[in-house]
Chain A
Amino acid sequence: MARHSPVSGRYVTIDVDGMEYKVFYLQNGTGQPLICQHTAGCHNHQWRGLLEDEEITKNYNVIAYDLPRHGKSDPPHNSRWWESEYKLTADHYVNFILKLCDALELRDPIFMGSSFGGNVALQLALRHPDRFKAVIPVEASDYAPGFFLDWWRHPHSNAAQVCASGTWDLMAPQSPEMDRWLTWFYYSQGSESFKGDLYFYSVDHDLREELERIDGRKCPVIMMTGTYDYLTTPEMTENTARRIKGGVYIEMEDIGHFPMSENYPVFKIYLKEALRIIHERKG
């Protein structure tokens, strides 16, 4: 008998800042919408553990989309995108997420993102606190310089393997080998977009002067970072959360920058705590 997963995939077409995007997303569960953003240069398989977790999906409608130019979401269909260098900006990223949530008719969603997804979660809490029940920025901080590098898309090397092996020690050595290699495999597929994503992550995203304007009492901001994350360290995240009114910081032991993908069972322990806090504060 075939072993079908309860997760389903679908496309939705939206227009963002004049770009027409056919967006692919995976979905499973019922109840409170929990919309999930993968990390830079990657795709929604990072959320494979969460999507099939019955303990979560019995109360949460988990949606994991592929950002345009990632996974099964194409570049824009109405633009000669190959004639320019891709650079993701904070404005466009935020606008995309809002348009997607509206297209999927998500009421009071919780937004969770990791790495550049975590950084955009902070942007959403700043710019649109009324649109989201809460945000969970994973492996995020107010400012994360140093990763917008030519190496990710260098024509003289195997860019696929540079992206995959260059992000290898963002993961903790304790994380299961299969899950680390799966994450490596996903990263080998995103080399055309990784560098452009990191323009947002390391250049355009800078909230060092803005954190005090985020009100975590209105839109809870629950930040989580792994102790093996060298790029956004636990200290960086803690310092960010401390400056946000009502901000919460949860430190995740023995896990790295791709927690939901490299070691879902450990990540789940901390995710449940974040969801519990949100439920306590907002119902």
Chain B
Amino acid sequence: MATDLKSWAVKFKNLSDSDKALSAMARYYTCTYMWDMGEAKVIIEMLDGKVRNINIDPAPLDAYDFALRASAQTWREFARPVPRPMFHGIWAASFRHDLTMEGNILVMMQNLRNFTLQFEMLRKCGVPV
């Protein structure tokens, strides 16, 4: 069941800010990224490992470093507690399904460890689509 955007953002921020694995390498985890889930888009702003802001209604020119885009159905698959094969990560879904990675991919690579951890938090907090 889709969670409404506002409560999802609160849940996600709390999960991320309290995550021990992410906190173990929090310093310099500073970037801004978009998750385009088809029916909803969010821009998540990270500052030294903490969620500084989640923009749940991005305007056309709101900036971000990089984006993940996929259909709402694909994002729902990501959010299963144990995702099915080929929906179990961003690389898997970009190779085998409709996920695309766009924008400044270098920034994503520079922050890949923590970004990967955050992506997997969707299995706990769900997706707002």
Contact = CB atoms under 8 A, between A and B. Distances in A.
Nearest to B86: A230
B67 to A, nearest CB: 17
Contacts of B85: 172, 227-228, 230
Nearest to B109: A157
Interface in A149-197: 151, 154, 156-158, 161-162, 164-166, 168-170, 172-174
B94 to A, nearest CB: 9
A172 B88 contact: yes
A174 B106 contact: no
Interface in B11-66: none
Give the interface SS of chain B, mostly helix, strand, loop or mixed.
Answer: helix
A146 B92 CA distance: 12
Nearest to A233: B96
A38 B29 CA distance: 32
A154 B89 contact: no
Nearest to B28: A158
B3 interface: no
A157 B66 CA distance: 15
Give the interface SS of chain A, mostly helix, strand, loop or mixed.
Answer: loop
B109 A162 contact: yes
Contacts of A174: 82
Contact of A157 (B83, B92, B106): B106
B90 A169 contact: yes
A158 B85 CA distance: 28
A231 interface: yes
Contact of B88 (A154, A158, A162, A169): A169
Interface of A: 146, 151, 154, 156-158, 161-162, 164-166, 168-170, 172-174, 227-228, 230-231, 233
Those 10 A-B pairs whose CB atoms lie nearest each other, nearest first: A169-B89, A230-B92, A165-B112, A157-B109, A157-B110, A161-B113, A165-B113, A165-B116, A228-B85, A230-B95
